[in-house]
Amino acid sequence: MAKEIIHTEQAPAAVGAYSQAVKAGNTVYLSGQIAIDPETQEIIDGGVEEQAGRVLKNLKAVLAAADCSFKDVVKTEIFLDDINDFAAVNSVYAEYFTEEQPARACVAVGSLPKGVAVEISLIAVK
C-alpha cells in the first residue's frame, strides 16, 4: 500500500521531522496540532479555549487537504498540560464534532511543545 504525504499552507508547518498528515489507503493519520497561526507561524494569544479553537481550525485545514472533514474522523487524542482544562476544551471540541462523535482519548501530560495548553491529533477514514 502506497502512502501519500498531506501538506497544506492553510495549517502550520511542521515544527519537527514529521508530516502534517499521511494517507495510507483510505485512512488519514493527522499529526498533533497546537495553537500556531498558519500565517505567522507563532503561538496565538489567548487561553485554553482560544488555543483549542485554533488547533481544531488547523486540523480542519489538514483534513480538507486530504479531502476529508470532521465527519470522517474515527479517533482523536487530546493532550492537555492541565487536566482541569478538560471541560473548557471539551466545550470547544463539541462545536466541531456535532454528530457521530469519534472515539477519543484525553490525557494530561507534563508539558507540550512551545508551552501550549492543548494538542490534538486524529485519524480519519474516507
Catalytic residue annotation? 106
Query: What Rg value do the Cα atoms of the chain yield, rounded?
Result: 14
Do residues 53 and 36 make contact, with C-beta atoms less than 8 angstroms apart? no
Cα–Cα distances in Å, from 27 out to 24, 68, 95? 5, 10, 23
Grid cell digits, residue 3 = 502512502
Which residues, 6+ apart, have CB-to-CB distance to 9 below 8 Å? 38
